[in-house]
Each structure stands twice: as C-alpha cells, then as structure tokens.
Amino acid sequence: MKGMVFTEFMEMVEGKFGYEMVDKIIVDSGVESKGVYTSVGTYPHSEMVQLVFSLSKLSEVEVPKLLHAFGRYLFDTFSKHYATFFEDVDNAYDFFESIEQYIHVEVLKLYPDAELPKFYTEKRDEKELHLVYQSERKMADFALGLLEKGLEYFNEEATIEVKSLAEDGSKVLFLIRK
C-alpha cells in the first residue's frame, strides 16, 4: 500500500482525535514500521489494518465507520493533489467511470508497484450507475466514503445502495441513483 495512504491516515487521526492518539495507535498496533511512513514509500496493507483496528479499539468507533470517514477524507486529498484527474470532468458519473480506465492507469505509471482495487461501471441511464468494487483488501466502506465525497465534490445528490457480491467483502456492488 502506498505511503501516501498511511501519511494521510495519520493526518486524519491527528486532526480528529489529536496527536496523542496517533502515538497510541502506533504503540498499540505494534506495526513493524513504528509509524514511520513516507508518502512515496510502500508498506504492507496489514499495517493499515493494524492501525485501523487499534484506532477502533482506542476510540471506540467501529472499523467500518473509521474506513468510511477515511474514504471521505482521502477524496479531499486526491482532489487537491491530483487535480489533473478532475479536469474536463463535469459530473460524478463520468468521474466514477474514469477510475479504472484513466485514473488507475495513470497511477500505475507513477507507482508501478501500486496494488489498486478494481472498479467496474455500467451506466444504466443518466440517473443510475452500477459500480462494482473488487479488492482482496475488503475496504468497501472506504470506497463508499470516496463515492459519497465524489458526489459532494460535483454537487450532486444521489442515493448509494450497497450490495455484497462476495461473502468475504471482496466484491461489492454500489447502486448509485440520482
């Protein structure tokens, strides 16, 4: 997992829970890196899992809620630091459809070792989009936060219905309706 995800997670934790909580989750989780992350580094996904579970335990906030909040938080980072991905896109559905065929292609050019989830889209009409999230990391709550924040970014209102397509959470369908 790219270091930028870790550094942004730590910033979110500090902003919402304080610097002391950052220290506490690093110690409590026992991560091998000792919480030393660089944005360009690559770290095991297991460390993110350990950090999130430690934060959940110490903050008494459920893991799905933390992942959801982090997805929303990280979308803001993406929109600021990767503005080129938002150019020439004027609505959320077109943006969501560009994730797999444009954004992830460009990310892999920058970070060839990045392990990205898969996003498959099917636009039913102007009001309905089906988006399938697939990842062995099972972070659909994180993806939901990203999607919700994407709708807000484009100032669009829609409902998102979540349907599990795999018992282990590795494949989820988001039915997005305006």
Tokens of 157: 């209102």
The pLDDT, as a whole number, for residue 30 is 96
Check pLDDT > 90 for residue 169: yes
Can you give the pTM of this predicted structure? 0.93
- For residue 143 the two structure tokens come to 């993806």
Give, in order, the Cα–Cα distances in Å from 65 to each of 12, 48, 69, 85, 120.
Answer: 13, 15, 6, 27, 24
pLDDT digits (tens, 9 = 90+) for 15-59: 999 999 999 999 999 999 999 999 889 999 999 999 999 999 999
The pLDDT assigned to 110 comes to 81
